[in-house]
Every structure is written in structure tokens, then in C-alpha cells.
Structure 1
């Protein structure tokens, strides 16, 4: 058994919905836009020589496209719906407006106040997201032979996951910053059964590109 597993965790590249400030959640399967594709290429160019045993993504195409360069190298790849973005329910795909902006602001404040079992309308709560993530985490950790892995997922889901991995209260998920195609480098110690943050969120691989969300 290898005592350490390196985990490279990224958020997907930019989509037009990101550009417009529209939530996609798990119900909108948007493609990367031109900047998103440039971000994916810049990430691949910067980390092309990184040793990886496996790629894990959500079931949504924007994560697949974000790691396409590595997939084309022939690195083993699995997609898991458990890594999908939170479902924002009936708010997904709607153009930004004052009422919805206030709704998101109030909902995320409710979560920060500790009410993490409150779902979005017709959608999921952070607790529900974490419950579907846990089996994927267990699966990944059950494979110590995979010494280095790349995980591509989504902003809110990433925040939920990081609180779990670092044994933080779920209402502190907003403490973990993210942006399109940012990278967190984590390590899991099998003997200690703990995760530690090596670096992140990293964005230097995008420094020559326009700002993203």
C-alpha cells in the first residue's frame, strides 16, 4: 500500500452561463465556452508532465472537457454523478434578476448560519450533496494503488467536498475559494487517514488568460 495519495482537484473551465452569472447546477449540461477551452488547454500545457494514475470527473460535460487533454493521453478515466454540481432546482438556467440574486444571497446566508439541510427550491441541500459525494470518496480511498489522481468537478460541490475532507463543519464551505479552472493539491495519508492541503487554490497556469469567474 502506498502511504500517500496525491489528489489534484479542479473546478471546470468557464461556460457561457458562468460568463452571464447564471447558475447551471446539475440540471444544465453546458459546454465550455472559448475562454473555458483556453483555460483547459492552459491547465493541460502547464501540468502535462504531471504523473497521474486516474482521472475522476462528474457526469457533466464541462468537467470532461476541462481534462480532455489528459484523457486523450490515455489516462484512465471514470465519471461519477456523485461529483455533480448541487441542484439549484427551479433556479437553474434563468437569467440573472434582482429577485433571484436576493434568493441566492439569502439561501447561502442560511447555510453559513448553520442551516445546511435547507435545500434550494426543487433542488438539493448541502447535506444532500455531501451524502452523494461520500460513496465516491470512499471508492477513491479504497484504491491506494492509484497514487496520484485528478478530480474535475464544480464550485459549490467542491466547497462541500473540501469541508468533508478537511473535517470542517459544512456551514464553513464558503471558506474555500474557487474560480474557473483553479487547482487544489491535496494529499491523503493512509497511515493517519487524514487529508492535508499542499497548495491551493492555484491559478498561475491561467495568468496569461483574461480573468474568469
Structure 2
């Protein structure tokens, strides 16, 4: 199986450096839309046998841009972004000031954030749903090419599931509209590229 992930285009929530998890269903902003369209010109959607997307607006629109109306897009709730619950929509700078112990050296929220947002998703829960999705893809499409359009943190965890036993803190966040590709043979995943920009 070959599986390619695309992170959705930029939203105003991204631009404002706010937490954008499963509770925030933002649309692409003008820049995000234009950049995704520019990148999609260098992307060949015809090579994929199946296309999956998060059901969130920013992912669906990005999937539509990259597939150019040529592919059916299957929506899957397991591709929803990480659920920060009460923290969704909050400014990263405010959280960093108030809870410095849950910010990593790259300015991202780490796994300990649930001390202050107890209803949020844990890394373990997140890894489990990502792993279930990946296992199903391999079971169904072991000799196919799969395209998945989703979210920055989710793609980090998909990558971490394959490479670091679910330790997402070892994986950087992809840029908006960037691509990551894995080749999986005999159940063994190999990273081909990560955070590739097409424009």
C-alpha cells in the first residue's frame, strides 16, 4: 500500500495561532484556498485508487481542490482532528503563559495538557483511532494507493503510530497543504517523504 496524507489549507484559526481541534470547524481562508489550488496544479489525483477525508470543512474543501472533482471522497470520523475539548479555539500564546508546563520547546501543546483540560483526548486514545484507521486501510487496500486529507496533529500521530510507537512529540507539525507519503509492504511501513510542499 502507498498512503499519502495532505494537511488541509490555511484557516483564519491557523493564522491567529489558535488551537484548532475537533471542536473548531473552520473553513479555509482566501490564502489557504489559493495556495491549495496552486499546489494542486502539481498534484496528480489520477494515481489514487481511493480518497478519504476528515469530515471537517477545512479538510473536505482541501480534498475537493486536490482531487479536482475527479474522485469520490469518503468521509471518516476517525480522521477528525485531535479533540482538545475546552481548549479548542484558545490562543496558543495565552495557554503558554498560563500553563508553561504543557508547552514543548517548539511551542506546541504536549501530552500533559489533559491535567488542565480533563475532557480532552489523550495521546493514547488518539493513537488508537489512528492505528485502527491505518490497519483498516492496509487490510482493504494492501496493493492500492490511498489518499487521506486531514489535519496537522492527526498526520503527526499517523506518522508517530508508524515510526515511534505513538510518541507524537517526536514528530514535527506539517505545513498547510503539505504532503507525507508512506509505503507499506508486508505490514512494514517506510516513510518516503514528510512535509513536502508542491508550491
User: TM-score surpassing 0.5?
Assistant: yes
Q: 2:138 aligns with which of 131, 136, 141?
A: 141
Contact kept? 2:130, 2:161, Cα under 8 Å: no
1:28-52 Cα deviation digits (max 9, x unpaired)? 1000001111122122211135511
Change (3 A) 1:146 1:34: farther
Q: 1:198 aligns with which of 192, 195, 198?
A: 192
Q: Following superposition of structure 1 onto structure 2, how do residues 47-86 of structure 1 map, counting pairs within 5 Å?
A: 47-48=43-44, 50-86=46-82
Q: Any idea what SS the aligned residue of 2:47 has?
A: coil
- In structure 2, what is the Cα distance between the partners aligned to 1:55 and 1:19? 27
Say yes or no: does 1:102 pair with 2:104. no
Q: How far is the alpha carbon of 1:24 from its aligned partner?
A: 1.5
Partner of 2:160: 163
Say yes or no: does 1:15 pair with 2:20. no
Change (3 A) 1:104 1:198: farther
- In structure 2, what is the Cα distance between the partners aligned to 1:46 and 1:53? 18
Q: Any idea what SS the aligned residue of 1:67 has?
A: helix
In the alignment of these two chains, the number of paired residues is 193
Q: 2:29 aligns with which of 28, 33, 43?
A: 33
Contact kept? 2:79, 2:130, Cα under 8 Å: yes
- In structure 2, what is the Cα distance between the partners aligned to 1:117 and 1:48? 40
- In structure 2, what is the Cα distance between the partners aligned to 1:24 and 1:65? 16
1:172-202 Cα deviation digits (max 9, x unpaired)? 534334111111121111x3x1111112221
Change (3 A) 1:105 1:184: farther
RMSD of the TM alignment (CA)? Answer: 2.4
Contact kept? 2:45, 2:70, Cα under 8 Å: no
In the alignment, structure 1 segments of 5+ residues that lack a partner are: 110-114, 207-213
- In structure 2, what is the Cα distance between the partners aligned to 1:116 and 1:37? 31
Partner of 1:211: none
